[in-house]
A and B are shown apart, each in its own frame.
Chain A
Amino acid sequence: MLPQTRRIRGFALAALAASLAFVTACPKQEDFPAALDVIVPPTPEDFVITNPQDNDYDLNWTISDPGDVKNYRLYLVGLGLAPELLAEPTTTTYPITLPFDAGGLQFGLSAVSTDNVEGAMVVATVP
């Protein structure tokens, strides 16, 4: 057998082995995991902001199933790119005093479940 032919065959054999290794060494998708067993809290409703005095605001809302809620998260929306967390009240009413007039800005409110899952946010514009 000519050395050149032998070299070509060697190369072909190596290519075949590399191809088989490439196919058989591919990772396979493992079993699909079970969905996380968590309690998703209900979304607060009837979120109302009143402004009894300058820079003082009273926030009120209702919740359909308070048993699943550990606390709420109150955000100020509109000052920056991301909502700014202001407080984490545990009741459905919350008075807050800001160091500036928040007129035109928005308050965001979401509930956090007993499993630490934060639900959807509702927003209300400051009057």
Chain B
Amino acid sequence: MTRGKTMRATAALVAGLLAASAATPAGAANSVLLSILLPGLGQAEEGHYGKAAVFASAAFISWTGLFATQVNYSRSVEKYEDEKRVYLHYQDELDNGSVVLASDIDATYNAMSEAYSKAEDEETWRNVFIGALVVTYGLNLVDVLLAEPESGEQAMEPSGMSLEVKRDGFRLVRTIRF
């Protein structure tokens, strides 16, 4: 159930980001899309190479940490589930009249407790890296949405020229500011 919620939330987040990129002008949308794919790419396209390096490094570290902790977490969960299966099987054996050693029950219980604690620790570390990744992506997208391009796409200043229509013709006014 929780996994389904996470999947739906992730899909909604990705869809929202894609929609946000679609709602922005073409050049900016391209940068947003690139930043969704990999933090820093959008900044690099706009010429902000320093920020691009920072975001890309943060994303790389976060993804690497997330994968490493995820693998360890999965292993710990598997070990815990194995020990738990053995432990609960003892009850079936006892119910069926088989004799079970108390030392085996204790040893399995201790191994199961240890595996559970380890899985919880690994989950905490994994969540830390998920948080780091979310912050990295969030800051990266905010930055790419708010930042202006380094060159080329500067907004045009008002020309200071206006056209006034008169009864007997029209007048072109050019304003020069000092």
A positions within 8 Å CB-CB of B: 9, 12-13, 16, 19-20, 22-30, 32-33, 35-36, 38, 40-41, 73, 112, 115-120
Contact = CB atoms under 8 A, between A and B. Distances in A.
B101 interface: yes
A9 B45 CA distance: 14
The 10 closest A-B pairs by CB, nearest first: A12-B37, A29-B119, A40-B102, A24-B6, A29-B77, A118-B101, A116-B99, A116-B94, A117-B102, A24-B7
Contact of A118 (B7, B14, B73, B100): B100
5 contacts: A29-B76, A29-B81, A30-B84, A33-B112, A41-B102
Interface in B61-117: 63, 66-67, 70, 73-74, 76-78, 80-81, 84, 87-88, 90-91, 94, 97-103, 105, 109, 112-113, 116
A16 B137 CA distance: 12
B53 interface: no
Interface residues of B, number: 44
Interface of B: 2-3, 6-7, 10, 14, 33-34, 36-38, 63, 66-67, 70, 73-74, 76-78, 80-81, 84, 87-88, 90-91, 94, 97-103, 105, 109, 112-113, 116, 119-120, 123, 130
Given A19-B63, A115-B94, A28 B2 contact: yes
Given A27-B74, A35-B109, A118-B101, A20 B10 contact: yes
A122 B93 CA distance: 24
Given A12-B38, A29-B116, A120 B130 contact: no
Nearest to A27: B77
- Tell me the interface secondary structure of chain A in the complex: loop
Nearest to A29: B119
A65 B79 CA distance: 37
A120 B102 contact: yes
A73 B100 CA distance: 12
B100 A116 contact: yes
Contacts of A30: 81, 84
Contacts of A73: 99
Given A23-B70, A36-B91, A118 B120 contact: no
A26 B77 contact: yes
A36 B84 CA distance: 12
Contacts of B67: 19, 22
A104 to B, nearest CB: 26
